[in-house]
Amino acid sequence: MNDYLQLLQTYFPYVAKGATITLQLTIVALLGSVALGLLTTFAKLANLRLLRVVATIYIELIRATPALLQLFIIYFGLTSFGLRLDPFTAASITLSLVGGAYAAEIFRAGIEAVDTGQFEAARSLGMSTPLAMRRIILPQAAVIILPPFTNFVISMIKDTSLALTISVPEIMYRSYDASSQSYRSMAIYSMAAILYLAICLPLSGFAKALEKRKASR
Amino acid sequence: MSRTILQLEGLEMAFGQLRVLRGVDLEVDEGESIAIIGPSGSGKSTLLRCLNRLETPTGGGVIFEGQRIDARTDINQLRTRMGMVFQQFNLFPHMTALANVMEAPVHVRRIRREQAEAEARRLLEKVGMLEKADSYPRQLSGGQKQRVAIARCLAMQPRLLLLDEITSALDPELVGEVLDVVRDLARQGMTMLLVTHEMRFAREFADRVVFMDGGVVVEVGPPEEIFTRPKSERLRKFLTAVLEQTT
Ligand SMILES: Nc1ncnc2c1ncn2[C@@H]1O[C@H](COP(=O)(O)OP(=O)(O)OP(=O)(O)O)[C@@H](O)[C@H]1O
Ligand SMILES: [Mg+2]
């Protein structure tokens, strides 16, 4: 027991510091995902065929390949073109690209779930398409999107652990490092688990509460 | 002599191979109340939707307030002059009744909020919904929702109202309150095209009744003639069928 406390004392601050990096990476990747996701959604809804095709190709490419492969292409692959990204940047870009494709699907489903009569009513009052989107469709879509989007945030937090493979010092990287130094894998990885749980469980509860509220309406 | 406000010249609409409107001709005078009747699938809704360009007609012409509607017409501007009320109300669920009515005046006509609110309250009062100004659509009955939807439409000061089976989604006991509002509007000289299955209301309300079948106007005339002296076999059959249904 004493021994465990000492282990905690030595390694917990080190591993916990990784949580800051995990969260930073999550936030940057989420911002990137939302921006890319919105662009892709509007491209998919656009009148211009070319835009729709580009958006579809992007989504399909991302969804049909493992995120780890995309990360390696961005971090190692691009060096063949003389592009050397630092690990945090490479991880941010990859997770934004992955997230953008999934977020686009969530956004599109949300927009399509809004009754078409809403759009027709808005248009029949003389609203332009962008105005109808902004004032009528998106506010309703946002309510529909929120629960699946919260789940998406949770997967994003867990996916940042991929960055371990390119030495971004987030939670997983540090626990791997600490366990190989201390030979106490179980104890160290339990610390990591507790950190992930502490971040993700409240979010998951939030998503459940949202879904319940929606169902009871 | 009253002025023609709307003129349809051989209006056609096809969805792929399906020809839904096959040349509709009709002239509507300012202030006229027109009831459109006809069997299901005859193209009544499609006709209204073509008028305010929710569908783009595939042939023929529409002249509204002296202007031919074509590719150069500003459709958003056209729609502000032609209000549409839907069977399913389509109120904006994330806004109160008052906000629903104010939305287009503030964001499309760009009038000041205070002025829009005063105007919206006046319209809600007109349809008997002022006490519910701060309620959300989900807190209203069907008849109340439809009255708010009419007020929302009137807030754009349209010159023509298109009403598509606006009482069909209502419980029978709520139909009257909505029809009262429509009757009032007719009395005040609003030009209206009203698609309806309520034959009794069509008869009492309309200046002229249009009978559509198979994508064309088969007969037009004053209610007395249409309902008591139908000329065509098709109208006679339709009226018999409808009478059997309601009795
Ligand atoms: N967007 C569309 N795409 C394809 N077909 C359509 C579309 N809208 C309407 N139709 C078809 O056009 C025909 C006429 O429809 P419309 O809704 O105008 O009839 P209606 O007279 O209003 O009938 P009801 O009394 O049942 O409302 C129907 O056969 C319908 O299936
Ligand atoms: Mg119809």
Query: Quick check: is B6 in a domain?
Result: no
Q: Per-residue pLDDT averaged across A58-68, rounded?
A: 95
In this predicted structure, the answer to whether residue A201 has a pLDDT above a threshold of 90 is: yes
The predicted-structure confidence for A131-182, as pLDDT tens digits, reads as follows 999 999 999 999 999 999 999 999 999 999 999 999 999 999 999 999 999 8
Number of domains, chain B: 1
Q: Give the residue-averaged pLDDT of B33-59.
A: 96
- The predicted-structure confidence for A85-116, as pLDDT tens digits, reads as follows 999 999 999 999 999 999 999 999 999 999 99
A72-96 average pLDDT score: 96
* Residue nearest (by alpha carbon) to ligand 1 atom 8: B46
The residues that bridge with B4 in the sheet, in sequence order, are B29
- Residues ≥6 apart with Cβ < 8 Å to B160: B5, B6, B28, B64, B81, B82, B83, B191, B192, B193
Average pLDDT, stretch B146-171?
96
Residue of the CA atom closest to atom 12 of ligand 1: B20
Q: How far is CA A128 from CA A123, A171, B39, in A?
A: 7, 48, 34
Residue closest by Cα to atom 6 of ligand 1: B15
Q: How far is CA A20 from CA A25, A87, A99, A171, B7, in A?
A: 9, 16, 20, 8, 69
Chain A residues with beta carbon closer than 8 angstroms to that of B92 = 118, 121-122, 136
Task: Give me the domain span that covers residue B102.
Answer: 91-158
Helix A138-159 to helix A185-216 angle (10° resolution) is 170
B72, exposed or middle or buried, with CB in 10 Å at 0-12, 13-18, 19+?
exposed
Q: Is residue B128 part of a domain?
A: yes
On whether residue B141 sits in a domain, the answer given is yes
Please indicate, yes or no, if residue B132 is contained in any of the structural domains.
Answer: yes
B46 belongs to a structural domain: no
The per-type count for chain B, helices as H runs and strands as E runs, is 9, 10
Among protein residues, the one with the nearest Cα to ligand 1's atom 31 is B41
In this prediction, residue A213 has a pLDDT band, given cuts at 50, 70 and 90, of confident
Strand partners of residue B54:
none
Res. A50 pLDDT band, cuts 50 70 90 = very high
- Please tell me the predicted confidence (pLDDT) of residue A9: 86
Residue A207 has pLDDT above 90, yes or no: no
Mean pLDDT of chain A: 93
Pocket of ligand 1 (CB under 6 A): B 15, 18, 20, 38, 40-46
Tokens of A162: 């991929």
Longest dimension (CA), chain A: 73
Average pLDDT over residues B141-159: 96
Tell me the count of A-B CB pairs closer than 8 A.
55
pLDDT of residue A189 exceeding 60, the answer is yes
Ligand 1 centre to CA of B214 (Å) is 11
Is B81 inside any structural domain? no
Q: Which helix (H) or strand (E) holds A143?
A: helix A138-159
**Which domains, and CATH codes, for chain A?**
2-216 (1.10.3720.10)
Q: Do B107 and A135 make contact, defined as CB atoms within 8 angstroms?
A: yes
Residue B95 lies inside a defined structural domain of this protein: yes
Q: What ipTM score was computed for the predicted complex, to two decimals? A: 0.92
Among chain A residues, CA nearest to B149: A121
Contact (CB, 8 A) for B50 and B212: no
End-to-end CA, chain B? 40
> Quick one: pLDDT band at residue B65, thresholds 50, 70, 90?
very high
- The values of phi and psi at residue B224, to 5°, are -55, -50
Q: Are B147 and B177 in contact (CB under 8 A)?
A: yes
Quickly state the pLDDT bin for A118 (edges 50, 70, 90): very high
A126 and B80: CB-CB below 8 Å? yes
Q: Is the pLDDT score of A62 beyond 90?
A: yes
Residue A210 has pLDDT above 90, yes or no: no
B30 belongs to a structural domain: no
Q: Which residues of B34-59 are buried (b: 16+ CB within 10 A; e: fewer)?
A: bbbbbbeebbbbbbbbbbbbbbebee
Of the partner residues B52, B107, B153, the one whose CB lies closest to the CB of residue A127: B107
Over residues B108-137, the mean pLDDT reads 96
Chain A contact probe: residue of B52, B91, B108 with most A CBs at under 10 A: B108
Tell me the average pLDDT across B159-164: 97
| Residue in chain B lying closest to A137 (CA) | B92
Spacing, Cα B166 to ligand 2 middle (Å): 10
What average pLDDT does chain B have? Answer: 95
The more confidently predicted of residues A71 and B71 is: A71
Find out whether B136 and B96 touch, Cβ atoms under 8 Å: yes
Q: Please name which of B131, B129, B97, B102 lies closest in space to residue B116, comparing C-alpha atoms.
A: B102
For residue B1, pLDDT over 80 is answered with no
Q: Is B107 on the interface with A (CB under 8 A)?
A: yes
- The pLDDT of residue A3: 82
Residue A157: name the closest of A20, A15, A13 by CA: A20
- Asked if pLDDT for residue A2 goes beyond 80, the answer is no
Q: Do A117 and B90 touch (CB under 8 A)?
A: yes
Is a pLDDT exceeding 70 seen at residue B247? Answer: no
- The DSSP 8-state label assigned to residue B3 in this structure reads P
Cβ neighbours, 10 Å, residue B74: 9
Tens-digit pLDDT profile for residues B72-110: 999 999 999 999 999 999 999 999 999 999 999 999 999
